[in-house]
């Protein structure tokens, strides 16, 4: 079982006091005043992962032990306990506890290094120690620690992020990087000492390796010819099923496209029916308005007609004759003309009412048609949706499952054939050694580091991160194999100010974590960065000062939040607080340096 680790908590305990800080998945930021124990936090984490000693600081007084909580794959969790003076560890898991030795031992998990290496899939790996002598060392977690716990002095160092500057350790440190970037260790390197120029040691090793492979092949119970024939059949079957999966997926996408079109058509019909409903409601109001106007005009027409044809007689009040009366004096118009105008208006309203009735009839006919069409569309949608859910989607899933089974079987067969190939190569190498005369062999050197292709891919990853952070310049990055460091826009990384060295070192460290995750390669899975944004706090030179005027800090935190969630963990230790705009999504711990406000410091 292997995977990535996560730091859960770090604590200090003593007879009368206790201090603890918790970490979460994703991005953790510990910031605040100077001299509050921020850098000591990184050193304490390193100490609890196998470091030899812990720096003496006054705040340590009164504490006797440390404990570190970690989580791993399958929701496992453990707590390491260790005396503050150093020595071995106590491992607690649930109700059980046992001792882990500090000293590393190859392929053993009774020590803290082997225990951690087993959890991340690197137990038993070997790394090159001497290129000239072709000697190797057992990989220890201490080889990885400096890559995942980058302390303040290291992050601003002028040297390479990949090695600490000690030439005696350079080969091993670069071999560790090669292992992480490729997943390939140096177990295959065969050591030849000056006392054995006759290749006896190599022959013995080859005989042992050949015997182991022969045993594996025997246990496998398969013949090479049969496996090759099976692989050929599997290749053909894989190609056929790949096409079947593609065809099934294409058919599924066609039906899903039909379903979307039917859904859109149904929505359009519904929208039109709603529109028709609103129009019919408005037209009903208009019809009622026409009816009221028509009734009013008919009343005027009828009363005017009666008034125009009433016989004129003498006034009952004064006795004046009809010819002396002034019946029209208070009227603005002729009664006959008013009646004629009312009649004309009634005719107009009648025509408008007929047109309105025709329009309403058309709308109702369209409504009936759309309702019938809607029923048809809904039925068709249900048919297509049922076809997708009950038939096509299961067919695609079944085709994918079958294809996956074939690919897995093919991979297993390839693995079996690889055993034959390895055996054949080892036997050929042994035959070559048998043919070598018993004279001192010519001295050779094992290549150090990783290939140009890997260096190029990793440089592109660093380049991508720097661009995402809006690092000044075009961010063209390539790896200088001689310096074991990176050149950015034509300028060696180590020749820049310490602020830019810090941020670019951080970029390399984050790129290493992400590169391993993206390529399924082993890595501890967490990263501790002490003062990556040093240029904002203590700029050195014009380049660092210019960096303060950019949005690199905002983009730095934004990028970390976007790319490091549940799958990994980054702990940033800084003096300055993150920008307010990026606080959301960060697990923020602030050391105030003020005993009356918040948390004073680590201890």
Q: What's the rounded Cα separation, in Å, for the pair 500 and 493?
A: 8
What's the longest Cα–Cα distance across the chain? 165
**Rounded CA separation 198/413 (Å):** 38
The 3-state secondary structure of 491-549 reads EEHHHCCHHHHHHHHHHHHHHHHHHHHHCCCCCCCEEEEECCCHHHHCCCHHHHHHHCC
The string of pLDDT tens digits covering residues 248-275 is: 888 888 889 999 999 999 999 999 999 9
CB 591 within 8 A of CB 599: yes
Q: What's the pLDDT at 540?
A: 65
Three-state DSSP at 16 gives: coil
Taking the complete model, does pTM exceed 0.85, yes or no?
no
Q: What's the CA gap between 235 and 163, in Å, rounded?
A: 44
The pLDDT of residue 134: 86
Domain boundaries, the chain: 227-321+329-419
Residue ranges of alpha helices (H) inside 388-451 are 393-435
**Alpha-carbon gap, residue 164 to 485, rounded angstroms:** 12
Residue 31 is inside which H or E element, if any? strand 26-32
Q: pLDDT at position 398, please?
A: 84
Dump pLDDT digits (tens) for 517-575.
999 999 999 999 999 998 766 676 677 677 777 899 999 999 999 999 888 999 999 99
Looking at residue 593, the DSSP 8-state letter turns out to be S
Which sign does the torsion angle of CA 39, 40, 45, 49 carry? positive
Dist CA 394 CA 388 (whole Å): 8
User: What phi, psi does 163 have (nearest 5°)?
Assistant: -150, 150
* Dist CA 530 CA 521 (whole Å): 25
| CB within 8 Å of 343: residues ≥ 6 apart | 297, 301
Phi–psi pair at 26, nearest 5 degrees: 80, -135
Which of 439, 484, 482, 427 has its CA nearest to residue 459?
Answer: 484
Distance CA 395, CA 398 (A): 5
Q: Classify residue 280 as exposed, middle or buried by CB count within 10 Å of its CB (0-12, 13-18, 19+).
A: middle
Those residues with Cβ within 8 angstroms of residue 147's Cβ, 6 or more apart along the chain or in another chain: 176, 177, 180, 509, 512
What is the structure's pLDDT at 557?
A: 96
Q: Supply the angle between the helices 452-468 and 552-563 in degrees, to the nearest 10.
A: 120
Lookup result for tokens 């826009």: 489
> On the CB side of 209, how many CA atoms lie within 13 Å of its CA?
22
Q: Give me the pLDDT at residue 308, please.
A: 57
Question: What does pLDDT average to in each consecutive run of 10 residues of the chain (603 residues)?
Answer: 85 95 96 92 96 91 96 89 95 94 93 96 93 88 95 89 81 94 92 56 80 78 83 88 85 89 92 92 91 88 70 67 60 71 88 91 92 91 88 84 88 88 86 57 67 94 96 93 92 90 95 95 96 77 72 95 91 94 95 92 94
Dihedral, CA atoms, 431, 437, 442, 446, nearest 10 degrees? 20
Q: Nearest-5° angle of CA 181, CA 137, CA 141?
A: 60
**What does residue 489 show for φ and ψ, rounded to 5 degrees?**
55, 40
Token code pair at residue 135: 């000697």
The token duo for 501 is 């060295």
Task: Measure the CA–CA gap between 265 and 249, rounded to whole angstroms.
Answer: 24
Q: Which two tokens stand for residue 527?
A: 């990263």
Report the topology of domain 227-321+329-419. Answer: Helix Hairpins (1.10.287)
- Nearest-angstrom CA–CA distance, 407 and 240: 12
Q: From CA 194, how far away is CA 257, in angstroms rounded?
A: 73
Of 176, 104, 108, the closest CA to residue 522 belongs to 176
The per-residue pLDDT for 193 is: 52
Residue 48 CB neighbour total at 10 angstroms = 22
């Amino acid at each position: 079982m292997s995977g990535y680790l996560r730091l859960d908590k770090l604590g200090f305990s003593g007879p009368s006091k206790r201090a603890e800080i918790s970490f979460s998945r994703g991005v953790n930021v510990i910031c605040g005043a100077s001299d509050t124990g921020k850098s000591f936090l990184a050193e304490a984490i390193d100490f609890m992962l196998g470091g030899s000693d812990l720096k003496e600081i006054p705040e340590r007084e009164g504490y006797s032990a440390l404990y570190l909580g970690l989580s791993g794959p399958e929701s496992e969790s453990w707590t390491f306990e260790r005396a503050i003076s150093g020595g071995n560890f106590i491992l607690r898991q649930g109700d059980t506890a046992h001792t882990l030795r500090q000293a590393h031992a190859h392929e053993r998990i009774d020590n803290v290094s082997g225990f951690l290496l087993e959890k991340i899939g690197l137990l038993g790996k070997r790394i090159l120690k001497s290129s000239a002598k072709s000697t190797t060392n057992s990989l220890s977690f201490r080889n990885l620690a400096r890559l995942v716990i980058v302390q303040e002095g290291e992050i601003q160092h002028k040297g390479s992020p990949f090695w600490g500057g000690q030439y005696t350790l350079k080969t091993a440190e670069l071999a560790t990087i090669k292992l992480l970037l490729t997943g390939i260790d140096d177990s295959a390197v065969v050591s030849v000492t000056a006392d054995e120029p006759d290749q006896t040691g190599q022959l013995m090793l080859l005989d042992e390796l050949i015997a182991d492979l022969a045993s594996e092949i025997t246990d496998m119970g398969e013949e090479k010819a049969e496996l090759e024939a099976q692989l050929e059949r599997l290749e053909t079957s894989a190609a056929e099923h790949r096409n079947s999966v593609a065809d099934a997926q294409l058919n599924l996408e066609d039906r899903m496209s039909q379903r979307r079109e039917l859904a859109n058509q149904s929505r359009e019909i519904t929208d039109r029916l709603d529109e028709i409903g609103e129009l019919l409601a408005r037209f009903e109001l208009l019809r009622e308005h026409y009816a009221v106007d028509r009734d009013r005009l008919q009343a005027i027409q009828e009363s005017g007609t009666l008034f125009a044809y009433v016989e004129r007689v003498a006034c009952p009040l004064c006795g004046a004759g009809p010819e002396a009366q002034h019946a029209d004096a208070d009227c603005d118009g002729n009664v006959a003309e008013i009646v004629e105008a009312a009649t004309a208006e009634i005719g107009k309203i009648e025509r408008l009412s007929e047109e309105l009735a025709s329009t309403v009839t058309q709308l109702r006919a369209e409504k009936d048609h759309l309702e019938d069409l809607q029923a048809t569309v809904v039925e068709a949608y249900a048919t297509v949706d049922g076809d997708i859910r009950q038939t096509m989607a299961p067919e695609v899933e079944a085709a994918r499952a079958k294809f996956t089974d074939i690919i897995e079987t093919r991979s297993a067969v390839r693995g079996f054939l690889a055993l034959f190939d390895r055996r054949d190569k080892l036997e050929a190498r042994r035959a070559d050694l048998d043919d070598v005369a018993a004279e001192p062999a010519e001295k050779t050197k094992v290549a150090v580091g990783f290939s140009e292709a890997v260096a190029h891919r990793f440089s592109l990853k660093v380049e991508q991160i720097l661009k995402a952070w809006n690092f000044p310049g075009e961010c063209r990055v390539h790896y200088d194999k001689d310096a074991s460091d990176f050149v950015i826009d034509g300028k060696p990384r180590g020749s820049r100010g310490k602020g830019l060295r810090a941020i670019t070192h951080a970029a390399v460290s984050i790129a290493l974590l992400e590169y391993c995750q993206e390529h399924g390669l082993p890595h501890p899975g967490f990263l501790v960065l002490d003062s990556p944004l040093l240029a904002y706090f203590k700029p050195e030179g014009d380049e660092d000062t210019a960096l303060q005027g950019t949005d690199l800090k905002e983009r730095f935190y934004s990028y970390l939040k976007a790319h490091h969630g549940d799958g990994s963990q980054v702990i940033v230790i800084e003096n300055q607080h993150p920008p307010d705009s990026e606080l959301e999504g960060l697990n923020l711990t602030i050391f105030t340096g003020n005993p009356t406000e918040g948390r004073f410091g680590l201890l």
